[in-house]
Amino acid sequence: MNKITKIKQSKDLGVKELQDNYQLLRDLMDFIPDVIYFKDKKGRFIMVNQAHAKGLGVKPEALIGKTDFDLFSRNRARKMIQDDMHVMDTGKPIIDKVERATRPDGIDNYVSTTKIPRYNDKGKVVGLIGITRDITRRMQFERLRKDKLSIERKLEALEELSAMKSEFISTVSHELRTPLAVIKGLVSAVFNEVVGQINRKQKEVLQKTLDNTERLKKIIDDLLDISRIERNTLKLHYSLVDIVDLMKDSEGFFMKLAEEKDIYLKYVYPDEPVNVFIDADRIRQVISNLISNAIKFTMDGGRIKVEVKILEAKVRIGVIDTGIGISKADLPSIFNKFTQVSKLSGAENKGVGLGLSISKKLVERHKGEIWAESKAGVGSRFYFTLRRFYTLDMLGKGIRDKVGRLMKNGISMHFVSLLILNCSEFRKRMQIGSESLFKDLHAILDLVLKNAKYGNSDKQVMSVINPRAGKFSIILPGASSKQAADISSLLKYRIRQYFANNKVEDVFITIGSLSYSQKVFSHDNGFSPSRFSIKEIYIGSEMRRFKRMSFKTNIKLFLPEEKVELSESVDVSEGGICLVIKHLLKTDSQLKISFVFPENREFVIVAKVRVAWIRKIELLFGEDANKYKVGLEFVNLENRYKRVICRRLMNKSQGA
């Protein structure tokens, strides 16, 4: 190969490399989403990329030789030229200049512009290179971040203010309690003639003083309660309680109170025990608030009904009266603090408006819902729900006597109760019968006790098994609280493994609350005072009877008087549907709904439903959202609709 040929090849390679580099530059210019342009010393475009031309609605070659005055308004072009001249005259670049701009299509946006001087091979400025990026989303995020910081600062200030207010209320209330107790004690001593006889007129005056002292004490107690709730210092003490027995304790008192106003008060209870894990004193406070209000705001000769109803996994307590009612405008605010919407004359009806607010907070602390329905001049309905739990079987006499002897000897008792929820449904899922299941569970218990190193002559484990009812009660004499907790946790773990090995899926297992009582049974029944505790383990498919799934679609509600309301669903099951509505429905009322599954819009499900429970939706700081979350139970749902819902639930659980 001669020298001329080599030079020619070298030139060819140089040209090809130049062409490749130019193509790389063109690719960068054409495919980058940012606007890129080159200008000469007079501000004329000598090269632009596709993004710049597209934004102006033209081809790149149409911009060559034009200036900003040919493309934009005079004022905007003047500002651009000023920046261009500054860069080219000083040689100093403009980096990331943020401006608000208007696109050719009229939409406002934010852009970040960078302009740098362009030099020739002699180092002289011959133009500039510009890059403009749309940063509208970045600015929106920045604004949101600033708004968030501003809101957070305001929230912190409000929380601090709220904490100071609650602390002030708590301090003042505590300071008032002592002198009030002294005043009440002294007045009571005079009233009861401890310090000498008094006449009838004096006794009447003292009675009014005592009544007002008691009212003042109630106000102070309410203020203390609301301050504890707001500061999250109110402690609840849970125990297993039959809600019917709890209500019967105060039934006589309210019957007498109603009788004094010639009000007919009726209690309606279910036939079976209704056992719940609650703070009995606090739920008694809620019930008393609702019944007291019903009596207070019902005229002489009116009627009040107090009912307890079982709703599968919930218990619903209702207080229905024929009183003066609440207007539609006032109804949304009745659970707010310091709110009184029903006006009656008489000092006995005065208060600070905390009773319903406290009741709402207490019910919600129990994971329940509370709501009201009312019409001015007709009456009111107040309802609240509690989670339903299941109780132990009563111990047989032989076991009871044995436990009694141990407790008399100062040996404390721990119960671990294993309960299978919805036992009949659960058994259908098992490939073995109840007897075999509980035999296996007994073997698991023996293994757990062995691993926990529990057992000696004084610590003989006793058990009470009821396979048909799905209950397995274990008595641990002399066990410490830690031992009982360890045994329960290990038992729960082993049971979960057992169901996994038997390929029983979607098993719900949890440990219930630990409750204490200083005196469980009376001496007459053979039990002596001793520390006594119960730990319960629940097993089942779900706490609810039906498995639910998240479900978002529009629901049509066919209301009375041929009205139709659109609402949004929350979840659905074979047994019912939960949704969000704006219209307050009447509890236990029946109506018709229709809806479709999004993937099969041609198949419309039409069903009758019953309103089971209602919960008002609140925004931050208890602001009114003007919406309600409602639980509807299907009434005689057609089999073809059941099949569609069940198929959808099955597909969902399988990840379809």
Here the CATH number for the domain that contains residue 111 is 3.30.450.20
| Between 85 and 196, the higher pLDDT residue | 85
User: Residue 620: its pLDDT value, please?
Assistant: 45
- Please report, for the domain that includes residue 262, its CATH number: 3.30.565.10
Q: Do 221 and 304 have their domain in common? A: no
**pLDDT at site 139:** 86
Q: Is the pLDDT of residue 513 over 50?
A: no
Closest to 465 in 3D by CA, of 396, 530, 410: 396
Report whether 322 contacts 302 (CB < 8 A). yes
Q: Which of 212, 230, 248 is the last residue of a domain?
A: 230
Using DSSP's 3-state secondary structure scheme, residue 617 falls into: strand
Average pLDDT value over all residues in the chain:
78
Helix (H) or strand (E) holding 35: strand 35-40
Q: Does residue 387 contact residue 368 with C-beta atoms inside 8 Å?
A: yes
Instruction: Specify the CATH number for the domain of residue 512.
Output: 3.30.70
Distance CA 642, CA 607 (A): 10
Query: Looking at the structure, do residues 616 and 581 belong to the same domain, yes or no?
Result: yes
Same domain, yes or no: 487 and 530:
yes
Number of domains in the chain: 5
Give percent of the chain above pLDDT 70: 75
Quick one: which of 2, 44, 184 has its CA closest to 128? 44
Judge if 598 and 576 occupy the same domain: yes
Query: What is the distance, to the nearest Å, from the Cα of residue 487 to the centroid of all Cα atoms in its chain?
Result: 32
Do the beta carbons of residue 213 and residue 187 sit within 8 Å? yes
Q: What percent of the chain is predicted at pLDDT more than 90?
A: 21
Virtual torsion, Cα 515, 517, 521, 522, nearest 10 deg: -170
Half-sphere exposure of 271 (CA within 13 A, CB side): 0
293-302, 587-596, 597-606: the lowest-pLDDT one: 597-606
pLDDT at position 547 is 61
Query: What are the residues whose beta carbons fall under 8 Å from the beta carbon of 72, sequence distance 6 or more?
Result: 80
How many angstroms separate the Cα of 580 from the Cα of each of 483, 544, 570, 609, 615? 46, 20, 7, 15, 9
Long-range contacts, stretch 170-173, CB < 8 angstroms, 24+ apart: 170/223, 170/224, 170/227, 170/228, 170/231, 172/223, 173/220, 173/223, 173/224, 173/227
225 and 257 belong to one structural domain:
no
Identify the domain boundary among 367, 387, 407. Answer: 387
Structural domain contains residue 3: no
Listed residue (397, 418, 419) closest to 521, CA to CA: 397
Neighbours of 384 (CB within 10 A): 26
284 and 418 in one domain?
A: no
Same domain for 351 and 261: yes
Give the CATH number of the domain where residue 599 resides: 2.40.10.220
Q: By mean pLDDT, which of 88-92, 335-339, 484-488, 508-512 is the weakest?
A: 508-512
| Cα–Cα distance, 320 to 630 (Å, whole number) | 19
Within 10 angstroms of residue 526's Cβ, the number of other Cβ atoms is: 16
- Let me know how long the chain is: 656
Locate 452 and state its tokens: 């926990």
Tell me, what's the pLDDT at 242?
Answer: 82
Q: How confident is the model at residue 94 (pLDDT cuts 50, 70, 90)?
A: very high
For the record, the structure tokens of 74 come out as 């005079």
Nearest CA-CA partner of 48 in 56, 112, 75: 56
**The pLDDT of residue 394 is above 70:** no
| Distant-in-sequence, close-in-space partners of 78: CB < 8 Å, separation ≥ 6 | none
Contacts 24+ apart (CB under 8 A), 54-62: 55/103, 55/104, 56/104, 57/104
Residue where a domain stops, chosen among 387, 417, 438: 387
Pairing of strands 264-268, 303-311: parallel
**527, pLDDT greater than 50:** no
Taking only the tens place, the pLDDT of each residue in 423-463 is 665 666 666 666 677 778 778 878 887 777 665 545 577 77
Q: What's the rounded Cα separation, in Å, for the pair 334 and 370?
A: 11
> Are 260 and 377 members of one domain?
yes
CATH at 209: 1.10.287.130
Arithmetic mean of pLDDT, 586-611 = 86
Q: Write down the pTM of the prediction.
A: 0.52
pLDDT band at 644 (very low <50, low <70, confident <90, very high): confident
Q: Mean pLDDT lowest for which of 111-125, 224-238, 263-277, 515-529?
A: 515-529
Angle at 209 between CA 207 and CA 214, to 5 degrees: 95
Q: What is the mean pLDDT of residues 245-274?
A: 90
Placement of tokens 């132990």 in the chain: 392
Domain range for 129: 32-134
Find the distance separating the first CA and the last CA of the chain, reported in whole Å: 71
Give the CA distances from residue 351 to residues 89, 308, 482, in Å, rounded to whole numbers and listed in that order: 79, 28, 47
In terms of Cα–Cα distance, which of 293, 289, 317, 319 is closest to 304?
319
Query: Do 378 and 253 lie in a common domain?
Result: yes
What would the DSSP string read from start to end of 69-136?
A: GGTS-HHHHHHHHHHHHHHHHH---EEEEEEEEE-TTS-EEEEEEEEEEEE-TTS-EEEEEEEEEE-H
467 found inside a domain: yes
SS3 state of residue 328? coil
State how far the Cα of 71 lies from the Cα of 109, in Å rounded to an integer.
18
Residue 147 has pLDDT above 90, yes or no: no
CB count in 10 Å sphere of residue 114: 16
Strand blocks (E) in 261-363: 264-268, 275-278, 303-311, 314-321
pLDDT at 268: 95
120: phi then psi, degrees, rounded to nearest 5: -90, -175
Of 63-67, 328-332, 483-487, 635-639, where does mean pLDDT reach its minimum? 483-487
Average pLDDT over residues 45-68: 89
Q: How confident is the model at residue 627 (pLDDT cuts 50, 70, 90)?
A: confident
Does the pLDDT of residue 622 top 70, yes or no? no
CA–CA distance, 68 with 629 (Å, rounded to integer):
58
Give domain status of residue 139, yes or no: no
- Report whether pLDDT(174) > 70: no
Phi, psi values for residue 214, rounded to 5°:
-65, -40
Whether residue 247 sits in one domain with residue 381: yes
Instruction: Establish if 568 belongs to a structural domain.
Output: yes
Q: Which is nearest to 155 in space by CA: 620, 623, 634?
A: 620
Q: Which residue has the tokens 């004094």?
A: 260
The 3-state DSSP class for residue 49 equals coil
Split at pLDDT 50, 70, 90, the class of 10 is low
575 and 613 co-located in one domain: yes
